């Protein structure tokens, strides 16, 4: 019959002396387990060739020989032929890098692999990150085994992630996904229904990666970023950016740049932007400006009553207040008087520059519009004393066209360089909705007096 014994507090010293030889693994490894004490029953089973299985319960304390690594659990089972040390009930594992708690754990020593099961919680003692989940695998950093520690967590874990590269006071990355992999103290991968939250944004994607050393990361598949718009300002207007994939950059505490690609869309309180690719500069949690471009989609920027399309767009929006949109290449700007306007004014050119400012009601409105290079404009003229009564339609062409606005409507158009145009007067009985149509701007050949100096 295999020997068994009960070890109490008075037996701790004896246990620490008796058991290490029985628990030492065959061959080389980083950790040689030494059982320090047990408050319950311990039993050794001879499995031949000088090896023994060991079982103990009632509370067991152990450590890795020559290391600060310590372990505790309600009971243990040691299988030297498998190089495996099992811990069951109230498991605690601590080394120089992590502190881990779980209901059960298996330590495979020759792989330096610790599999923790049941309400597993792992705290990174270097960075302060906390990983929680049903199961956590801790692959320890060990010479000859692996250069960097790794954590693998399936079954919808969550990590409050901080990295060595984060500055003091940096907000944590709260990452939840179907599976997580963390490498060292600066890299993270997430897969399956990913959500990443910080105080300055909320992101979603099919998968994601984060590299703090490189200062950024990537959201892959059905990516979306929602910016707070002002950090601690609860009433600040935010922004939303979507695309197939989104790349981002960070600088310590803050998000500094985002770029969406493939059918990208960005929205804020004052504007909407769509293109193949959209990139924004971020400061103080707010969009400061950006670009939109691509081949398969026409880049489009919309504000209240205005739409600008071009091959590419450059946006200026300091503190997320839209001030200018510059359309480059086959540019066109359309201005509506109101939401029911079915026949709006427009200007076209190689480049179109739209300027925006506060126009009342807390919204941004169009205050100036210029077209450069092969410029054309079509706008309606209303009676001076009856601003809703259409008087005529003006078509103009030139090297440069500048439109001046009153409210949402064009008040006057100045044309410079190779200027010509035509003015079509509307009969007094003709309603705006039945105004006569005119040829396109690039086919106008009949000049109207005064076109070169203003509409």
Distance CA(206)–CA(191), nearest Å, equals 6
pTM: predicted TM-score of the whole model, two decimal places: 0.82
The Cα 25–Cα 20 span in angstroms is 10
Place of tokens 């029985």: 22
Token pair for residue 367?
Answer: 């205050």
Give burial (CB, 10 Å; 0-12/13-18/19+) of 251: middle
- State the Rg of the chain over Cα: 35
Say yes or no to pLDDT of 264 above 90: yes
124 inside domain? no
17, 37, 88, 382 from 57: Cα distances, Å: 18, 10, 9, 93
Question: 5 lies in a domain?
Answer: no
pLDDT at residue 376, as a whole number: 93
pLDDT in tens, 243-262: 999 999 988 678 899 999 99
- Domain span holding position 415: 308-455
Q: Classify residue 454: in a domain, yes or no.
A: yes
Task: Give the DSSP per-residue string, 47-67.
Answer: EETTEEEEEE-S-EEEEETTS
Chain Cα centroid distance, residue 379: 42
**Is 259 part of a structural domain of the chain?**
no
Interstrand relation of 51-56 and 75-79 (parallel, antiparallel or unpaired): antiparallel
Note whether residue 347 is domain-resident.
yes
In this structure, the strands spanning 70-73 and 60-64 are antiparallel
168 or 188, which is more confident: 188
Any domain includes 410: yes
Q: 166 falls in which pLDDT band (50, 70, 90)?
A: low
336-388 confidence digits (pLDDT tens): 777 677 788 889 999 999 998 877 666 667 888 999 999 999 888 877 777 77
Q: Considering the domain boundaries, does residue 246 fall inside one? A: no
d(CA 292, CA 315): 8
CATH of the domain at 316: 2.60.450
What pLDDT, in 10s, does the model give residues 85-104?
A: 999 999 999 999 999 999 99
Least confident of 10-19, 36-45, 202-211, 319-328: 10-19
Q: How many domains does the chain have?
A: 1
């Amino acid at each position: 019959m295999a020997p068994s014994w009960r070890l109490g507090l008075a037996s701790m010293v004896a246990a620490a002396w008796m058991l290490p030889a029985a628990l030492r693994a065959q061959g080389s490894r980083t950790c040689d387990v030494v059982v320090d004490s047990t408050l319950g029953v311990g039993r050794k089973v001879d499995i031949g060739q000088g090896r023994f299985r060991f079982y103990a319960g009632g509370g067991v304390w152990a450590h890795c020989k020559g290391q600060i690594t310590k372990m505790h659990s309600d009971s243990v089972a040691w299988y030297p032929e498998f190089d495996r040390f099992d811990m069951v009930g109230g498991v605690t594992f601590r080394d120089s890098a992590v502190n881990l708690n779980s209901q059960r754990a298996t330590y495979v020593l020759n792989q330096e692999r610790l599999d923790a099961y049941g309400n597993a919680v792992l705290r990174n003692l270097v960075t302060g990150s906390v990983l929680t989940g049903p199961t956590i695998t801790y692959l320890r950093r060990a010479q000859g085994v692996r250069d960097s520690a790794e954590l693998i967590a399936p079954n919808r874990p969550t990590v409050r992630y901080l990295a060595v590269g984060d500055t003091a006071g940096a907000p944590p990355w709260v990452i939840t996904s179907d599976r997580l992999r963390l490498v060292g103290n600066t890299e993270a991968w997430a897969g399956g229904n990913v959500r990443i939250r910080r105080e300055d944004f909320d992101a979603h994607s099919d998968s994601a990666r984060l590299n703090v050393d490189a200062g950024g990361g990537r959201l892959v598949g059905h990516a979306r970023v929602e910016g707070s718009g002002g950090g601690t300002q609860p009433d600040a207007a935010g922004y939303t950016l979507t695309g197939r994939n989104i790349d981002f950059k960070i600088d310590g505490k803050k998000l500094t740049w985002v770029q969406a690609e493939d059918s990208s869309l960005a929205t804020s309180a004052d504007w909407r932007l769509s293109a193949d690719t959209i990139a924004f500069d971020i400061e103080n949690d707010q969009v400061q400006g950006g670009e939109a471009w691509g081949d398969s989609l026409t880049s489009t920027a919309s504000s209240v009553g205005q739409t600008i399309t071009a091959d590419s767009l450059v946006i200026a929006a300091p503190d997320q207040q839209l001030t200018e949109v510059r359309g480059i290449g086959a540019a066109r700007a359309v201005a509506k008087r109101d939401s029911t306007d079915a026949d709006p004014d427009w200007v076209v050119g190689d480049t179109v520059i739209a300027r925006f400012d506060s126009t009342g009601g807390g919204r941004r409105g169009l205050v100036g519009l210029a077209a450069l290079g092969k410029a054309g404009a079509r706008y309606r003229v209303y009676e001076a004393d009856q601003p809703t009564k259409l008087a005529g339609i003006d078509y103009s062409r030139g090297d440069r066209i500048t439109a001046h606005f009153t409210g949402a409507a064009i008040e006057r158009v100045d044309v410079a360089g190779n200027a010509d145009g035509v003015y079509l007067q509307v009969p007094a009985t003709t309603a705006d909705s039945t105004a006569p149509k005119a040829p396109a701007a690039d086919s106008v050949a009949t000049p109207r007096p005064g076109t070169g100096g203003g509409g």
